[in-house]
Amino acid sequence: MVRVIDVRRSGDRYRGGEPSSGISSLHAFSFGRHYDPDNLRFGPLLACNEERLTPGAGFDEHPHSHTEIVTWVTEGELTHQDSTGRTTVVRPGDVQHLSAASGVRHVERNDGPAPLTFLQMWLAPLTWDAAPAYSLVRREDLPQDHPDTVVLTLPAAAATLHHLLLTPGHPQHLPEAPLRYVHVLNGEVGVGPASADARPAAPAAELRPGDSAQIGDAAEGPFMLTARGESPAELLVWAMEG
């Protein structure tokens, strides 16, 4: 059997949102009016949207159900309000998880003075009989400057989210799982199978900010990640059971 790595470039993402209302969106998968039968999902991952909101812009109250919604802010502050009466402000490095389950409504806005950029990822749950739930992990409660931090475990979707920091000259193993989804936040990253001596081989792909790679590992042996060039790199990796 062979390894599969499918690279999706940032510039190839579907552009959505409402730019006239201060909302710009880049979608990695079929979403809304955009339908691509060859790119509907990757395992349980249904969406990976890059959202950019100008000050005062946002998504008015809207419903969700049977979806695990995970949000990672990279710039600015995201104000979240939901139908349970909860209001929170999500900042860079925080991890927000909303389990829509049987149904929930929420509002997402940029109430701050600066532009807001966040990555929102949707995953399909294994069962549909749970009640809505919410969690927010603050950046200061996570290990700082650790090369590989598990920032969220989602048993409901059999998925784990890793935050990786790569430094030049210090390659890292990609977390093991049947399915891996890599999204680059900052820097340039080489990804590919390790050589026989467990060192990085020539990268199968080179990724830049906003690029992603879908990796199905049907054979034995690890994949390696390397920071390319002289700058560190930051990325999110979903490790999923399929």
Q: Which position has the token pair 């409402």?
A: 18
Is residue 64 part of an annotated ligand binding site? yes
Cβ of 30: how many Cβ atoms within 10 Å?
17
Is residue 170 part of an annotated ligand binding site? no
Instruction: Give the integer Cα–Cα distance in Å for 35 and 107.
Output: 25
Is residue 62 part of an annotated ligand binding site? yes
Is residue 106 part of an annotated ligand binding site? yes
Cβ of 221: how many Cβ atoms within 10 Å?
11
Query: If you write DSSP's letter for every residue of the chain in order, what string do you get?
Result: ---EEEEE-GGGSEEEEEGGGTEEEEESS-BTTB--TT-S-BTTEEEEEEEEE-TT-EEEEEEE-S-EEEEEEEES-EEEEETTS-EEEE-TT-EEEEE-TT-EEEEEE--SSS-EEEEEEEE--S-S-PPPEEEEE-GGGSPSS-SEEEEEEEGGGTEEEEEEEEBTTB-EEPPP-SEEEEEEEES-EEEEEB-TTSSB-S-SEEE-TT-EEEEE--SSS-EEEEE-TTS-EEEEEEEE--
Sequence ranges of the binding site: 62, 64, 106, 108
Sequence ranges of the binding site for Fe cation: 62, 64, 106, 108
